[in-house]
Amino acid sequence: MSSFSNKNKVLVAGATGLIGSNLVNQLVKQGYDVRGTLHDNEPSMPNPSVEYVKADLTSLDDCYRVVKNCDYVFMCAANTSGAAVMKKSPLSHVTPNVVMNSQILHAAYESKVSKFLWISSSAAYPPTGDRPVTESEMFDGDPYESYYFVGWMKRFGEIMCRMYGEKLENPMTTIVIRPTNVYGPFDDFNPETSHVTAALMRKVIERQSPIVVWGDGNDIRDIIYVDDLVNIIITAIETLDHYTAMNIGYGQGFSVKQILAKLLRIDGYENPEIIYDSKKPSMIPVRLVDINHSVSSLKLGSLTAIDEGLERTMKWYRQFG
């Protein structure tokens, strides 16, 4: 089995997003030589040890440039947004992401990158109700209708990873991570594009009154703190040497109402008026994932408790958000 060494050069494509920002910081802490790509946004808190490079990953030339001399690639770059944008402009998640994923995989393979890790999504699974979904069920049916576009985009990304990781005569090790909802420092708190946890967090911290919650509050989410996800990602690329796809999550679901109640209690916001607006778009009513494969394969320890992760994130947002 090949080992992940801090003597290797690693690329974090998408170094300013929630996952990418935290990943580059953790890799630097562990002594790795890190290059990170930037596109529209500059890093809000640049790490002086990171080699930041401007790149448009829809350009094959730029993809070749950023993967040059890299042994490992973490593909965290993606065109993402919340429920409102996905409902209004579903194709905005398809074309740019398919092009980016295709180009970076091609450039990485041709440049003889050793390992390539790609961030998929648990949203790409077909509906399974309140039963946790296993990795083998990804293609058992269409994704939820509200996630049809982004879900099939993610599935095609996984197919490409499998092509490079299993189907070529000289494969490149590819690892597909299917995370649940991620939250933590460097999250997107913009009300136009944020996901549910960050959106609720901002409303609580700003003491909005009333607090307007999209949907009826009964949607169930498995939310994982970003530090845990980053550590799992690093463990995966350290220890896996063949094509693998695996679920990553906390392993427990919480309703939007429960998440909001935790945020209110943690921040000491008592008895606010709460309005549940069922006319606003919500997405998957229940999404739970089976994490037994990742737990056993990566020998995962305990994860950050939800209350602790939420409190850490709120403190970060108050200081830096």
Write out the H or E segment, with its range, that includes residue 33: strand 33-38
In this structure, what token pair is assigned to residue 108?
Answer: 């990485």
Q: Which residue in the block uniquely carries the two structure tokens 């939250």?
A: 183
**45 CA to centre of own chain:** 19
Question: Is the separation of the CB atoms in 241 and 173 below 8 Å?
Answer: yes
Burial pattern 230-240, b for ≥16 Cβ within 10 A else e, equals bbbbbbbbbbb
More confident residue, 280 or 321: 321
The CA-CA-CA angle for residues 102, 100, 13, to 5°, reads: 115
For residue 210, whether the previous peptide bond is cis, meaning omega lies within 30 degrees of 0, is yes
Global pTM? 0.93
Which residues fall within 8 angstroms of residue 198, CB to CB, at 6 or more apart? 183, 187, 188, 189
Q: Which two tokens stand for residue 292?
A: 């037994």
Instruction: Collect all residues with Cβ–Cβ distance below 8 Å to 29 and sequence separation of at least 6.
Output: none
Is the CATH code 3.40.50.720 the one for domain 9-183+224-251+288-304? yes
- pLDDT per residue as tens digits for the range 140-162: 999 998 889 999 999 999 999 99
**255-273 confidence digits (pLDDT tens):** 999 999 999 999 999 999 9
The DSSP secondary-structure symbol of 50 reads S
Amino acid at 219: D
- State yes or no: pLDDT of 8 exceeds 90: no
Q: For the segment 11-69, what is each residue's pLDDT rounded down to a tens digit?
A: 999 999 999 999 999 999 999 999 999 998 899 999 999 999 999 999 999 999 999 99
3-state secondary structure 225-253: EHHHHHHHHHHHHHHCCCCEEEEECCCCC
What's the rounded Cα separation, in Å, for the pair 234 and 319?
27
Q: How far apart are CA 88 and CA 92, in angstroms?
A: 9
What does the pLDDT read at residue 2?
A: 40
User: Got the DSSP string for 175-191?
Assistant: EEEEE-EEESTT----T
Domain ranges of the chain: 9-183+224-251+288-304
